[in-house]
Amino acid sequence: MKATPNVYGQTIGLLEQEVDELDARRAELLRIIDSLRPLAGEASRTRGRSKTAAKRNERTNERAKRGPTRSLPDVTKHGEAIIAALRAKSPQSPSELAKALKLERPAVTYHLKPLITRGTVIATGATLNRQFSLPPRSKAAKEAP
């Protein structure tokens, strides 16, 4: 008899529930051990991890279960504002764009990435003298949002 994917899903769910119960039981046992240490004349210890580190790891694991982080947007309202600013004056540095749009420079860079990938904006120059502009009119007309 062939098992269906639903059976596998149920089995996985039961196993995950059992792991969660074992984790809770382990944490409870560690708390008991730590409470008994002073009675035995030993110093209390957190078994190599602080409570803060444990919580941080829990949050990281929860994020991992949710799947990958969001990807870059196609074109955002800020992306459209960048295109408009470049139409008004081109080329511009990220700092000039940030000042014109009243955004932080890293935010401008974030919103530029999908525009550069699509070819809507062209980046020229090295890191220190990087400039952004619109492509020649014929190409921009084809790819304009």
Q: Tell me the pTM.
A: 0.45
Asked if residues 45 and 86 have their Cβ atoms less than 8 Å apart, the reply is: no
Asked if residues 44 and 34 have their Cβ atoms less than 8 Å apart, the reply is: yes
Please check the confidence at residue 27 and state whether its pLDDT lies above 80: yes
The 10s digit of each residue's pLDDT in 63-80 is 656 655 555 555 678 888
Of the candidates 125, 132, 134, 120, the residue with the CA atom closest to the CA atom of residue 95:
132
- CA-to-CA distance for 22 and 10, rounded, in angstroms? 18
The 10s digit of each residue's pLDDT in 77-98 is 888 888 899 989 888 888 999 9
The 10s digit of each residue's pLDDT in 8-20 is 878 888 888 888 8
Helix (H, G, I), strand (E, B) or coil at 7: helix
The 10s digit of each residue's pLDDT in 113-139 is 888 888 888 888 877 788 888 888 754
Of the candidates 111, 128, 127, 118, the residue with the CA atom closest to the CA atom of residue 76:
111
- State what percent of residues in the chain have pLDDT above 70: 68
